[in-house]
Amino acid sequence: MRIAMWSGPRNLSTAMMYSFAARGDCAVWDEPFYAPYLAATGADHPMRAEIIAAHEADPEKVAARCLGSIPAEKPHFYMKHMPHHMLPGFPLDWAHECENVFLIRHPVRVVASYAKKREGPTLEDIGFVQQAELFNRIAQWIGRAPVVIDSYDIRQDPATMLERLCDAIGLSYTDKMLSWTAGGRPEDGVWASHWYGAVHRSTGFDAPEGTLPDLAPDYARLAEAALPYYEKLAAHRL
């Protein structure tokens, strides 16, 4: 099975990648289209030059690998993708061969977390619009709403939500998904040193989230602009 997990940044996406890697039967790939996105857009992201130098920046070659042999000959392949990395003209036909899942998080939480790592995020940066557009596109392909899971629900009850997710995509659940060894993984993108500090210190999913954080006015307006797109997908969450 090939799993394409679509989420914006700061969405529990790296912890979910670690969770699937901990199964033992699942190879993982960390944001394959990030380097192509940076190379094509010129976006000023932390470690931009290092990312393009260290990772394949040709979207056609990345797409081919999405359907190529699974690393280490594992039976399953979990790919952590970000919808805003899929620029117009980037190949997406490979996703027809995947179980496409959408991982969401309330935009207030996303903006609060993102701004700690990179100041002045835009609606483009946090990916809610692109995630909703891709959700619609894949729904048209498959004739139904794709699977949606909310990071808030995962942190409330990881075992139950991961079991429900596995059931929804036809994968057996194992409690190995609940924990992992502290530190980075060899599959981490080179950008991990900037973004992954918290998950590298973790050995499992964080405790349940509390109330929504307060945001400065500019950031509050950004979260408000993203909210309708989040709510559209949240209506379909497990």
Residue 28 sits in a domain whose CATH number is 3.40.50
Question: What local confidence, expressed as pLDDT, does residue 10 receive?
Answer: 85
What is the average per-residue pLDDT within 97-118? 93
Q: What is the pTM of this model?
A: 0.95
Q: Output the six-digit token pair for 165.
A: 């997710």
The answer to whether residues 103 and 79 touch, using CB atoms and an 8 Å cutoff, is: no
For 81, the domain range is 2-234
Give the whole-number percent of the chain exceeding pLDDT 90: 89
Q: Is 73's pLDDT higher than 90?
A: yes
What is the average per-residue pLDDT within 65-93? 97
Question: What local confidence, expressed as pLDDT, does residue 149 receive?
Answer: 98
Looking at residue 231, its amino acid is E
The answer to whether residues 117 and 194 touch, using CB atoms and an 8 Å cutoff, is: yes
**118 confidence band (pLDDT: 50, 70, 90):** confident
| Total domains present in the chain | 1
